[in-house]
Amino acid sequence: MKSVYAAVAAIGIALPAIAIADPPQSPTMDPDKPVHCQRDRTGEVWRIQCDDAKRVCLYAPDAELDADGNRVHPLERVRDCAEADGFDRDRLEKAGYQFVPGRADAPWGWSRDERGRVFQVNFDLHKRMYFGVGYAPQKIIENPLQSTRTSIDFGLLVLDLYDRGDTTRHRIRLLQGEVNMEPFSADVTLAHYDMSHRFTDPLFRVTTFFGEPARHDLHLNLGMFTEAGGLELRQTPYGNTELWKHATAQVTLDLWQSADLESFVRLRTGGILEGQSDPVNGYRSALTESTALDVDMTLDPAGFHNLRFELAHELPRYFTPYVPNVLVQRMRAKLQYEQIILAINDQPISLNFSAGGEKRNDIPGVPDQWAFVVDAGLRFSLWAPPHAR
Amino acid sequence: MIDTAQRLALRRGPASLGLAAAVAALAGVAHADPCTGISSGGSRFAACFDPGNRLELSGATIGLSPGQAALGGELALRHDITFEDEPDLVWKMSHELLDVEYAPEAGRFDGLLYRGIFVRHSRDGHIVLPTDPPKKVFLPFDIGAFVEVGRFETHSPALASLGIVETAALVDLARSHSQRFRLAVGPSGSWRVDLDRMPVALADHAITPFSSLLLDMHGESDDGLLVAELRGEAGYVWHLDRGWQLEERAEASLERTILAVNDRPIAVYADVRYESAYSETIAGVGVRLALFSRHDPRVSLDPPH
């Protein structure tokens, strides 16, 4: 009952009520150990799991309970258990086993409360659809009064393909982007695919003979990065500019990879086929050399803390000269931290903080200096299943 | 839908699966009757349809007076994603692709590349707070999302609009296990551009940073012969050239299947659309023909052996 009162309080007076401490939760059965089912004298089924080392057996009802303790639903996301499998409670009690109330086990990435209700506690934000809204006070060095921006961001499909034990992770993104207001700007990418691979054989190995001989392997974990249909829109004193990144192709070198390839630090370099249009110069095409450092880290096993960083440099080579005797270039950096704060029906809502800067001289009317933006917002994600175990 | 027999099988294992399948099969025959008609000659025909899974063509007259002919078409798909270990959880996925309507006399073309409505229906709605241990607060609704990509509309010989993306977080109060009913509401965010048509040029950007409220209602009769939909949206939209504007948009439709040819339904429909941003109200009445239509699973066209 106490948890119900806490729920009512939470809805009524918002989050601080949740801080009301519940009594200590009963222990949970181990999802990797066998569980037995047995009927009591009234015919109700109970789930039982025994620990032979501790001589303790946990027992829990084989059903979800209502607030009054009545059995109301079958348990969800629970393993089958056999009733007639030779489990002998009387023999165990005579042998000194202690029977303690517990909670039925839940699969990896899920938890179960005292009433047996299951809920997700591990989220893979690399498999989701998301959209969010942010507030971004902007400070430009020469325009300190320009300080209000609101933004929306979206990703219609974020999908990493990876199975435990794979040496390759494929990353697919569809229609991902961000639109800022006042001043207006937009960055959208229609389709993205990149791939990380772990090469098990070293490129070469070095053996050192200082003291004990030791072997040091050097791996060259190469991958690829591609995008199609990129669009950047910027507002300038002369009007709106468009930068169409028709196609991007880059080679990646992973400087560091996590065991499941979800987190990485990598360098990438390659080319972009692009077209740019502004009110002063009209349309011009370019082949652009681009290089970037990417960091993408999931900081905890449950996926609640996520960090991303990008530092990119682009050198457009226009087919028709744009500004003579000037090296035209674009630089940008963005640091982003996303933390899941709650989940509604197992769909996470996260806080998103980001700080970024951009310096470019390819657009007339935009000062050739760094402009910085910080941004804080909320994101709603759909799907986000538990990480692969 | 997973019935008691299947649930029993899931809990008891493979031995009970056969029994459950037999029970389910018997139940299927019993339920097939209302959806399977039998002619005087003994031929069987479909009496129920699935309006969410079809490739359709439509012909309509649009505008109030005088009417102008319009042709259109759409591919609609919907399906459920279910889970063996959580039988009361279902993802209801509804997709509409290439929804187009062309009125040559009016020089009007409206098209939609993709619209998706995804609703996660579970027995218990809840919020999980990431405390240690995590806490669960129960809520009486399902949640979901609305997504629309590539909505193009011509409003006049000089003006068109392209909705690049629109999304909304939905709260579904209907909490129906099937896809026949939906009463969803939620904040919506979108990015739309207005286009000058002569010459083609970007005229304006309109952004809704989740400052609009979207209402989405859908209802179908059990046999799928009657379908009603209402979608409305109202809120503040920021325009690049004129700042914040209050805008409303609504569309409603009613469809009734009146006959079927070779078990492919033909329906009459009426719809009306209002959009304050372009001071536009368009009504239409027409006929909709399903070129391909998925049979309602309760229809049994093969005679029992």
pLDDT tens digits, one per residue of A256-303: 999 999 999 999 999 999 999 998 988 999 999 999 999 999 999 999
Distance CA(B238)–CA(B208), nearest Å, equals 6
Q: Do A382 and B135 touch (CB under 8 A)?
A: no
Q: Could you tell me which chain B residue has the CA closest to the CA of A151?
A: B209
Does the beta carbon of A129 lie under 8 angstroms from any beta carbon of chain B?
A: yes
Residue type, A117: R
Cβ of B89 within 8 Å of Cβ of A76? The answer is yes
pLDDT for B66 equals 64
Measured distance CA(B277)–CA(B242) in Å, rounded: 12
Residue A310 has pLDDT above 90, yes or no: yes
Which of A222-226, B117-121, B137-141, B148-152 shows the lowest mean pLDDT across its residues? B137-141
**B2 near A CB under 8 A:** no
CA of A115: how far to CAs of A101, A108, A121, A382, B122, in Å?
12, 19, 17, 26, 17
Nearest to B123 among A73, A80, A156 (CB): A73
Q: Is the pLDDT of residue B129 over 90?
A: no
Cβ-defined contact of A382 to B145 (cutoff 8 Å):
yes
Flag if B135 and A18 touch (Cβ within 8 Å). yes
Mean pLDDT of A213-234: 94
What residue type is assigned to position B138 of the chain? F
- pLDDT beyond 50 at A114: yes
- DSSP summary character for residue A22: P
Q: Are B287 and B264 spatial neighbours (Cβ–Cβ below 8 Å)?
A: no
Residue A142 scores a pLDDT above 60? no
Residue B10 has pLDDT above 60, yes or no: no
Among the listed residues B189, B145, B141, the one whose alpha carbon sits nearest the alpha carbon of residue B169 = B145
The CA-CA-CA angle for residues A348, A115, A38, to 5°, reads: 125
Question: A174 by DSSP, 3-state: which?
Answer: strand
| Predicted local confidence at residue B107, as pLDDT | 87
The answer, yes or no, to whether the previous bond of A202 is cis (omega within 30 of 0) is no
Task: Give pLDDT, residue A347.
Answer: 94
Which of A111, A382, A383 would best serve as a mutation to test chain B binding (most B beta carbons within 10 A)?
A382
One-letter amino acid at A252 equals T
Q: Which of A78, A154, A233 sits opposite B167 (nearest CB)?
A: A154
- A51/B contact by beta carbon, under 8 A: no
Predicted local confidence at residue B243, as pLDDT: 87
- What is the ipTM, given to two decimal places? 0.80
Which residues are A338's β-sheet partners? Answer: A306, A352
B124/A133 Cβ within 8 A: no
Beta carbons of A181 and B238 less than 8 Å apart: yes
> Does this model's pTM top 0.90?
no
Strand, helix or coil at B207?
A: strand
State the pLDDT confidence band at A139, using cuts at 50, 70 and 90.
low
- Segment among A5-14, A149-158, B183-192, B240-249 with least mean pLDDT: A5-14
- How would residue A22 be classed by pLDDT, with cut points 50, 70 and 90? low
The encoded tokens of residue B104 equal 């040559």
Residues 6 or more apart whose Cβ sits within 8 Å of residue B28:
B298, B300
Model confidence over A180-205: pLDDT tens digits? 887 789 999 999 999 999 998 898 89
Which positions ≥6 away from A52 have C-beta within 8 Å? none
Residues 6+ apart with CB under 8 A from A2: A22, A23
- CA of B110: how far to CAs of A189, B148, B207, B280, in Å? 24, 14, 20, 13
Please say if the pLDDT value at position B3 is more than 50: no
How would residue B19 be classed by pLDDT, with cut points 50, 70 and 90? very low
What's the whole-number mean pLDDT along residues B112-116?
97
Q: How far is CA B146 from CA A150, A309, B185, in A?
A: 21, 29, 10
How many CB atoms lie under 10 A from the CB of residue A315?
18
Lowest mean pLDDT, pick from A237-251, B27-41, B87-101, B269-283 = B27-41
Q: Is the pLDDT of residue B95 over 90?
A: yes
* Residues B298, B104: Cα–Cα separation, whole Å: 40
What pLDDT sits at residue A124?
A: 96
Mutate to test the interface with A, among B7, B88, B123, B128 (most CBs of A within 10 A): B128
Residue A223 pLDDT grade (very low, low, confident, very high; cuts 50, 70, 90): very high
Token readout for B202 is 């970007």
Say if residue A248's pLDDT is above 80. Answer: yes
- Shortest CA gap A357–chain B (Å): 22
Q: Distance from CA of residue B131 to its chain's centroid?
A: 37
Three-state DSSP class for residue B62 = strand
Average pLDDT, integer, range A169-173 = 98
Q: Do A240 and B129 touch (CB under 8 A)?
A: no
How confident is the prediction for chain B on average, in pLDDT? 86
Any A CB within 8 A of B129 CB: yes
Distances (CA, A) of B35 to B257, B269, B290: 14, 22, 18
